[in-house]
A and B are shown apart, each in its own frame.
Chain A
């Protein structure tokens, strides 16, 4: 099984590359949102999966990235893809600032605090904070992204932009996972006291994981803003955070392959069964409860080292 995984992944990647040739616009659009959620879940995985920090306010960082892009683009006419590093920076710095005082909290307390942060950010967006966010209506009229002189407009074009970014993310995060940094995070997750005892600066690594994960979510926010050309607070509700949390747990915390699979299942399956769309969350809730009894490590858990 283990030996076939690289082949399976290669086949999967090849399928993704040629997929737009065979699919209609609607199907490509579904794949685009799967790609965005995969990106967000991978960024959350850094915090929740690798470092074991329960973050259920990830939508806040996503929102800050999206709004940063939207504001920079509509007010200062900066091309939307140029805002990518800036929105990453904004989300990362915000995460650093809010996580600093609370990062030492254990498990479920951190979870509650991050829910609180997510809600405060959403309420701030609705209340048109600093007169920048446009209140409940949000910001519209974000210009189309341009790449090498080509205006990206069609879902097919976004498809390659989004999945290209996903591929880059997987490449970078795999390298990160195998690095000294990644090992430190895993150690932290498994046994914080032992990690600290062997000289790992736990607060530093926790904050680094938080900021990096948030920065990545912020960049996903840029892609979201570019794709939708409109951002509004309702796209960043508590349920987005729950959905992302679910994708990571379902796929297997720390497992990149598992998270990709879970993104396809959680976002893709409801599209296949549209007539049961209302029962989507019901099924997810049930799956979460059953999974924790039957297979708490997720569908495709990360292999131990």
Chain B
């Protein structure tokens, strides 16, 4: 039981990270019907930027752990959001009217480009987050000892997801995003600036993805320039699992995939852990391509 609960909470932490990345995929797909292959690499940028800012500014020394990490999260989110907007301008906007293949290839090109820029700047080796600034404390919750970091990650990702959900559902801008996702032409006729909606989506998604990268750095303590595509593929699986284009779906799919993976690694085989996510992806596309909560893609597949 103890072992099971440990794996479950670990799965929830990883799943929260997947969900945050998946939100970026699903929002972009909702509005543009494009799989943003470079999204995983924006996530990696979050991890690397977090590392650089953490070590060079010594935020946690100056502001204390909680405030320091909070400022760090905001800085990483802002910087990666700007990167996302640049990506949209450079790689996707010129291809808005082109066939799908062109946009897909451009997205792949952007992914390769971003990944290799990181490699040239930081080198190909694993980069290690400093371990002395992170809390190693464990919490005792009803007799279950959980690392503080894990609890914080689950909490932070859930808070961000709820905030995003409320923003999309309740605010005027959120309504505009939903309208543009349903029918761009009609949204334009209603006076919605669709280009600004797309820009906004490319700010929000990468911001969340960047924070997820930072979380991976803080949780696992090391980052690599190629990790973006593994996390990206898994987060994409999560988005498909929940139903792509569907924001609550991405959250549910992310958490579910994280738990499936953690339990699969614990009880089935650790060596096949990465293959498990891909099997889930293939199975869901064969059995229920609209995902668990999705309804919109039916015409796309």
Contact = CB atoms under 8 A, between A and B. Distances in A.
Contact of A279 (B120, B236, B285, B301): B120
B189 interface: no
A296 interface: yes
Contacts of B102: 292, 296
Nearest to B116: A282
Interface stretch (A14-22, A108-116, A173-181): A108-116
A3 interface: no
B233 A116 contact: yes
Interface in B213-228: none
Given A107-B104, A120-B275, A120-B278, A288 B109 contact: yes
Nearest to B91: A289
B91 A117 contact: no
A119 B236 contact: no
B112 A288 contact: yes
B101 interface: yes
Interface stretch (A98-106, A193-201, A217-225, A264-272): A98-106
A124 B275 contact: yes
A112 B282 CA distance: 9
A167 B101 CA distance: 29
A150 B116 CA distance: 44
A278 interface: yes
A242 interface: yes
Given A116-B281, A123-B275, A289-B110, A282 B236 contact: no
A115 B233 contact: yes
B199 to A, nearest CB: 19
Nearest to A297: B102
A242 B282 contact: no
A305 to B, nearest CB: 19
A126 B273 CA distance: 12
A3 B158 CA distance: 65
A281 B301 contact: no
A123 B278 CA distance: 11
Interface in B233-266: 233, 236, 240
A44 B110 CA distance: 22
A285 B113 contact: yes
Contact of B281 (A107, A113, A286): A113
A288 B117 contact: no
Contact of A108 (B104, B110, B111, B112): B104
Interface of B: 34-35, 90-91, 94-95, 98-106, 108-117, 119-120, 229, 233, 236, 240, 271-272, 274-275, 278-279, 281-282, 285-286, 289, 300-301
7 contacts: A105-B289, A112-B240, A113-B282, A119-B233, A281-B115, A288-B108, A291-B105
Interface of A: 52, 54, 101-102, 104-109, 111-113, 115-117, 119-120, 123-124, 126-127, 238, 242, 245, 249, 278-279, 281-282, 284-289, 291-293, 296
